[in-house]
Amino acid sequence: MNVSSIIVKTLPENYDKVWEELEKSGLCDLHFGEKEKGIIIVTIEGETVEEEIAKLAQIEELPHIISAEMHMSYCEEEIEGMLKEMDIKKVVEELNIPKKAEEITYFGSLKGKY
């Protein structure tokens, strides 16, 4: 199971409407907000990252939302699965090969991938 936190931004005058829409949506759990800043912190859950991204996209489409950005994501099962499949010797060998920065592929950001 994946769990991710989302920072939702709206105008302060739309805060109550957005909070209500998020509650009704069933897409997320609401945890905290600052009405004066128009910020609401929610969490979403999904079996896969793709499922979470789909929920995030639905949240972004709700009325009066300026932005909804994934802030933190956690998935114990995926990490455990990756560790089981990982050949640690091969990883160490790969890390010891000198490379230029532009030859390294960074996989830490989901922006623009979905």
Whether pTM exceeds 0.75: no
Computed from CA positions of residues 1, 43, 73, 48, in that sequence, does the dihedral angle turn out positive or negative?
positive
Q: What is the pLDDT of residue 109?
A: 63
Contact between 28 and 85 under an 8 Å Cβ cutoff? The reply is no
pLDDT tens track for 48-65: 888 999 999 999 999 999
Q: Which domains does the chain have, with CATH numbers?
A: 1-114 (3.30.70.920)
For residues 56, 29, 16, 58, the Cα torsion angle rounded to the nearest 10 degrees is 20
For residue 114, pLDDT over 60 is answered with no
CA dist 113 and 109 (Å) reads: 8
